[in-house]
Amino acid sequence: YLSGGVYLGGNSAAANLLEDYEEGTWLVEMFDASTGGNKSASNATGYYTKIGRMVHITFSKYNLSNAGMTGANPIWISLPFTPTGETVAGSINIRQFSFPSTVEYLVPQPATGVGRFVIQMVRSGNTSTEVTWTNISNLTTDIGSLSMTYMA
pTM for this predicted structure: 0.82
Categorize the per-residue pLDDT at 6 as very low, low, confident or very high, splitting at 50, 70 and 90.
Answer: confident
pLDDT of 52 > 60? The answer is: yes
Per-residue pLDDT, 3:
61
Give the tens place of pLDDT for each residue, 73-114: 999 999 999 998 766 778 787 766 777 788 888 888 888 888
Identify which of 49, 26, 50, 54 has the alpha carbon closest to the alpha carbon of residue 116.
26
